[in-house]
Amino acid sequence: MVDFDTIQNGAYRRIDENLPLLIEKSADGELSFVIETMPHTPFQAKQLNLKGITIFERKRLGLVQFVLLLKNEAHKEIFTRLCQDLADVPKVESEQKYINNISNRLEQWVYFWSAIKNDTMEFRKQMGLMGELQFFNFLVSMKMRPEEVLDAWLGPDKNPHDFVFLKNLYEVKARTSDDETISISNENQLEAVDSKDLLLVVYEFIEGKNSGQTILDMANQVIAGCFCDDLELRARFERKLLSEGLNIMAPCSNLIRFENVGVKYYQVVSGFPRIISSDIPSGILNVKYKLKVDSLTDFLCTFNKGK
């Protein structure tokens, strides 16, 4: 475990006896994360730029050390999280592959580090993402391959539908127990395309004070269950989260806990109350409207995985 508070100034400690990784604290209290390699093992990420962190190379006892030195004490918490994340990269037999994996993970951090903002995320945005993450996890529980579900999760890529498969479309909505309506953002969300079946998935949540999960909890649950051994897929997943407003490296400060109290599925077919593009006169753009949930009873159905 990476814990800089356990070492004194002027000392260093190996994180794990089986890993070429150390944490270090200078005589002046500056914090460093050290990656040791043999001279013939190049480290690809040494030219990266992380604001507040200096990356440099040095030689010590016949080994090459690549050092991440924290220059801004205000970033100590996220720097510690970065170091722990690099330490959690799965160890593989090939030293070069292992070092490459750490390098690639560090490159992902550069992307997220540049996107850090000191802001919050509004309640309904968090609740909507929670619905999509729970549905993602549900699809995996239905024996769908995580990579397939990740490919299908196109909502973060500004697709009209949240999940797009070969024969099925899924639009995910979330509401509180007090909400009588759900919001439809445009005329395309409830319009089936390419002869695909469209299912409206509606999650119902209550806010949990000391129970339930935050969107960060849910995202980490998906990562642990689906992508812990595949850094490339994990990186793709995390970038989609960022597109949805969740920087998993530095999450917003007002994360809310949600409890799932139910989910319902509605088949969007002829007669379903909706506005689609063919209903709109020329010149009208950006149609938004609300649907009364109790008006959808006739379209209730069970979940059919399809493809």
For the chain, the structural domain boundaries read 4-113, 123-301
pTM higher than the cut 0.85: no
Residue 44 scores a pLDDT above 90: no
Distance CA 191, CA 276 (A): 6
Residue 93 scores a pLDDT above 80: yes
Distance CA 137, CA 141 (A): 6
Q: What is the DSSP string of 17-69?
A: TTSSEEEEE-TT--EEEEEEE-TTS--GGGG--BTTEEEEEEEETTEEEEEEE
Sole residue written with tokens 């050390």? 65
Backbone angles phi, psi at 282, to 5 degrees: -55, 135
Task: Give the residue-averaged pLDDT of 206-228.
Answer: 93
Q: How confident is the model at residue 289 (pLDDT cuts 50, 70, 90)?
A: very high
Q: How confident is the model at residue 253 (pLDDT cuts 50, 70, 90)?
A: confident
Q: Using alpha carbons only, what angle is made at residue 138 by residues 134 and 143, rounded to the nearest 5 degrees? A: 155
Residue 284 scores a pLDDT above 80: yes
Nearest to 21 by CA among 35, 31, 7, 11: 35
Which pLDDT value is given to residue 176?
Answer: 96
C-alpha distances (whole Å) from 284 to each of 53, 184, 276, 279, 287 are 50, 16, 12, 10, 8
Mean pLDDT score of the chain = 91
Which pLDDT value is given to residue 111?
Answer: 82
Task: Give the residue-averaged pLDDT of 265-269.
Answer: 97
Residue 157 scores a pLDDT above 80: yes
Residue 285 scores a pLDDT above 90: no
* Two structure tokens written together for 23: 């944490």
More confident residue, 165 or 73: 165
- Computed on alpha carbons and rounded to an integer, the radius of gyration of the chain in Å comes to 23
Q: How confident is the model at residue 46 (pLDDT cuts 50, 70, 90)?
A: low
Which pLDDT value is given to residue 47?
Answer: 64
Q: What is the pLDDT of residues 101-146, one digit of tens each?
A: 998 898 888 888 777 776 789 999 999 999 999 999 999 999 999 9
Q: Using alpha carbons only, what angle is made at residue 212 by residues 210 and 214, rounded to the nearest 5 degrees? A: 100
Q: How confident is the model at residue 62 (pLDDT cuts 50, 70, 90)?
A: confident
Whether 2 contacts 80, CB under 8 Å: yes
Distance CA 95, CA 229 (A): 17
Q: How confident is the model at residue 227 (pLDDT cuts 50, 70, 90)?
A: very high
